[in-house]
Amino acid sequence: MAQSTAPDTTTPVHPLIESSRVEGTPVYDSTSKHIGTIQHLIIEKVSGRVVYAIMTFGGFLGIGAQAHTIPWEKLHYDTSLGGYRTDITEAQLSGAPGGDEKLWRDRKREQEVHDYWKIPPYYGF
Amino acid sequence: MAQSTAPDTTTPVHPLIESSRVEGTPVYDSTSKHIGTIQHLIIEKVSGRVVYAIMTFGGFLGIGAQAHTIPWEKLHYDTSLGGYRTDITEAQLSGAPGGDEKLWRDRKREQEVHDYWKIPPYYGF
């Protein structure tokens, strides 16, 4: 009786993730090359919005080990990849403010991040 | 020469938190009584919005150990408390769907949570 076209019995692509499990989420470039990994997300406590991803870029030689503070708007979840896609290039990254995963605690340095990536900040509106 | 009224040298109440550090954030009731603790947050991967808090209610006798899935809209960050405030009562909690911290993986059970707490779901719009 049951139809055999039940798509929900395979491993579901669930739209949600636990905050405790975001570490290790892969990040891909515009050509679907794996270029980095999310360490953790930075969440605005009042609104419950993610505002930054702290991530390492392992694929770009020489700057792989540094943690970078990337505005959330630079990442776009791709369900087919199971990770985030970004248009960030190696050239952009090499000039980016960062290298300190606690940068987001300093408003002046946060502003440098927003200026560099041309993303309006979450504060001030 | 320097003015002695520098407010930023004290421990700042920062509006952001790392996803890896949300565990243990206290939750208070409407009388500022500590009633529970956040275990982790559930984040919508595409939008980067927190949609649920998985939390335990330690202050309500008898149901303290159960993990509950609470819609984010039921929590309001209170900077003076350094935690979240909620209007959830013990009576409401005792009838709430839950007891399973992976409830959010099942859309039907998610809907029960939204129906119970009268919070529109993040999906379906």
Task: Say if B16 is an interface residue toward chain A (CB within 8 Å).
Answer: yes
Q: What is the pLDDT of residues A43-52, one digit of tens each?
A: 999 999 999 9
Q: DSSP string spanning B32-84?
A: S-EEEEEEEEEEETTTTEEEEEEEE--SSTTSSSSEEEEEGGG-EEETTTTEE
Between these two residues, B16 and A11, which has the higher pLDDT value?
A: B16
Give residue B1's pLDDT. Answer: 43
Burial class (CB in 10 A: 0-12, 13-18, 19+), A59: middle
Give residue A63's pLDDT. Answer: 52
Task: Identify the band that residue A60 occupies on the pLDDT scale cut at 50, 70 and 90.
Answer: low
Count contacts between A and B (CB, < 8 Å).
89
Please give the CATH superfamily to which domain B19-117 belongs: PRC-barrel domain (2.30.30.240)
Give residue A30's pLDDT. Answer: 93
d(CA B83, CA B34) in angstroms, rounded, equals 9
Whether A46 and B15 lie within 8 Å, measured CB to CB:
yes
Q: What is the mean pLDDT of residues A74-78?
A: 96
Q: What is the mean pLDDT of residues A51-78?
A: 83
d(CA A114, CA B112) in angstroms, rounded, equals 40
Give residue A59's pLDDT. Answer: 54
Q: Which of B11, B19, B80 to mutate to test the interface with A (most CBs of A within 10 A)?
A: B19
Give residue A33's pLDDT. Answer: 93
d(CA B65, CA A115) in angstroms, rounded, equals 46
- In this complex, the residue of A15, A23, A46 whose CB is nearest that of residue B44 is A15
Give residue B48's pLDDT. Answer: 96
Q: What ipTM describes this predicted complex?
A: 0.84
Q: Are the C-beta atoms of residues B34 and B46 closer than 8 Å to each other?
A: no
Task: Say if B108 is an interface residue toward chain A (CB within 8 Å).
Answer: no
Whether B43 and A22 lie within 8 Å, measured CB to CB:
yes
- State pTM to two decimals: 0.85
Tokens of residue A83, six digits: 């990770």
* Shortest distance, CA B16 to any CA of chain A (angstroms): 5
Give residue B84's pLDDT. Answer: 97
* Shortest distance, CA A113 to any CA of chain B (angstroms): 15
For residue A51, how far is the Cα from the chain centroid?
A: 9
Ranges under pLDDT 50 in chain B: 1-11, 61
Q: What's chain B's Rg over C-alpha atoms?
A: 17
Residues 6+ apart with CB under 8 A from A59: A29, A33, A34, A35, A36
Whether B18 and A12 lie within 8 Å, measured CB to CB:
no
H-type alpha helices, A26-89? none
Q: What is the mean pLDDT of residues A6-30?
A: 78
Whether A16 and B51 lie within 8 Å, measured CB to CB:
yes
Q: Which of B18, B76, B78, B107 to mutate to test the interface with A (most CBs of A within 10 A)?
A: B18
Domain ranges of chain B: 19-117
Whether B49 and A49 lie within 8 Å, measured CB to CB:
yes
